[in-house]
């Protein structure tokens, strides 16, 4: 597999670790949405974060949604991951001109101030949801803050996307290292030292090539036990049936007004940009059956 997530424990289960490589996944997202460079980097980070967050859960039906709402020109993003390793997401505003008007180009500056929401649907009546104020908008910093203050798990988060000059994806990789309650100061100091040597997730993946080697570099081959591997890819599960349900949810009154003014109704999926066109006759038939 080209893109995948690896999970591991280290130092006698006192450290939990995850690493993901997602070059092709991010490139697929970039192409589907026609993303500008800053948006591509931001969405790539968000997709990898969602993949790791979902990989932390247990059960086959977990779906994790990462939402960022900001007051910057990017406005935020939505990223979704499931246990099949499929990811999808979108940037709320991909208008590059609005990013550059005031010389704003960094991800954090483009997202601005706001909130990070993590929603985990465990297949029960109510999903679990956690919310924190954004610390920097750089996503990795905000996710580390979320783990530390919402789940009381001290964590290091590094998420990186590096683009080539022709706007293709050179590297996309992410790492999350978490200290469990039994982690000693000696373990923490040793791991922090290796993290400093790492420099960034993209520079490390370029040196060592695989997610497994990334974790071995940070935690030491002699200390680590790999516990699982999951594929990662960009896929959308939209369909004509789902999009039609979205259209008819507008209600009888609004649908009637639409069919009186238009011959067709076009809808576009936020996650993949696929277009679906429904005729007035299709909608009239539904209205008649209501």
Q: Are residues 41 and 58 in the same domain?
A: yes
284 with 152, same domain: the answer is: no
H or E stretch including 170?
A: strand 169-179
Residues 21 and 86 in one domain: yes
Task: List, for residues 180-210, the tens digit of each pLDDT value.
Answer: 999 999 999 999 999 999 889 999 999 999 9
Query: Which residues are within 8 A (CB) of 281 and not within 5 positions of it... i.e. 6 or more apart?
Result: none
Higher-confidence residue: 23 or 102?
23
Q: What is the pLDDT of residues 26-77, one digit of tens each?
A: 999 999 999 989 999 999 999 999 999 999 988 778 999 999 999 999 999 9
pTM value surpassing 0.75: yes
CB atoms within 10 A of CB 290: 9
Residue 1 confidence (pLDDT) above 70 = no
Nearest to 6 by CA among 157, 228, 175: 228
b (16+ CB within 10 A) / e for 254-270: ebeebbeeeeebebebe
Q: Report yes or no: 211 and 173 within 8 Å, Cβ to Cβ.
A: yes
**96/230 same-domain check:** yes
- Examine the domain organization and report whether 58 and 74 are in the same domain: yes
Tens-place pLDDT, residues 113-165: 999 999 998 777 788 899 999 999 999 999 999 999 888 999 999 999 999 98
170 touches 162 (CB < 8 A): yes
CATH code where residue 285 lies: 3.90.1280.10
Domain count, the chain: 2
Both tokens assigned to 286: 């539904």
Residue 25, CA distances (Å) to 20, 88, 233, 253, 277 in order: 11, 9, 5, 41, 27
Residue 20 shares a structural domain with residue 147: yes
The share of the chain scoring above pLDDT 70, in percent, equals 94
d(CA 49, CA 36): 20
């Amino acid at each position: 597999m080209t893109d995948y997530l690896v999970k591991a424990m280290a130092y006698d289960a006192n450290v939990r670790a995850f690493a993901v490589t997602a070059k092709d996944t991010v490139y697929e997202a970039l192409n589907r949405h026609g993303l500008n460079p800053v948006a591509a980097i931001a969405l790539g980070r968000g997709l990898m974060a969602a993949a790791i967050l979902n990989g932390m859960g247990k059960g086959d039906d977990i779906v994790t949604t990462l939402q960022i709402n900001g007051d910057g020109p990017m406005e935020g993003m939505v990223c979704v991951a499931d246990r099949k390793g499929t990811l999808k997401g979108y940037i709320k505003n991909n208008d590059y001109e609005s990013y550059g008007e005031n010389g704003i180009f960094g991800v954090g500056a483009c997202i601005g101030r706001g909130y990070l929401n993590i929603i985990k649907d465990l297949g029960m009546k109510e999903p679990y949801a956690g919310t924190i104020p954004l610390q920097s908008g750089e996503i990795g910093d905000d996710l580390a803050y979320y783990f530390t203050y919402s789940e009381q798990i001290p964590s290091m988060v590094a998420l990186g996307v590096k683009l080539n000059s022709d706007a293709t994806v050179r590297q996309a990789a992410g790492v999350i290292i978490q200290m469990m309650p039994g982690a000693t100061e000696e373990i923490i100091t040793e791991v922090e030292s290796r993290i400093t040597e790492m420099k960034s997730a993209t520079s490390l993946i370029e040196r060592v090539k695989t997610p497994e080697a990334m974790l071995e570099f940070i935690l030491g081959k002699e200390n680590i036990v790999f516990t699982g591997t999951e594929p990662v890819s960009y896929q959308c599960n939209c369909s004509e049936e789902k999009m039609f349900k979205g259209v008819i949810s507008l209600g009888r009154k609004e649908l009637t007004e639409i069919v009186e003014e238009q011959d067709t109704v076009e809808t576009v999926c936020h996650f993949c940009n696929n277009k679906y066109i429904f005729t007035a006759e299709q909608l009239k038939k539904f209205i008649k059956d209501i």
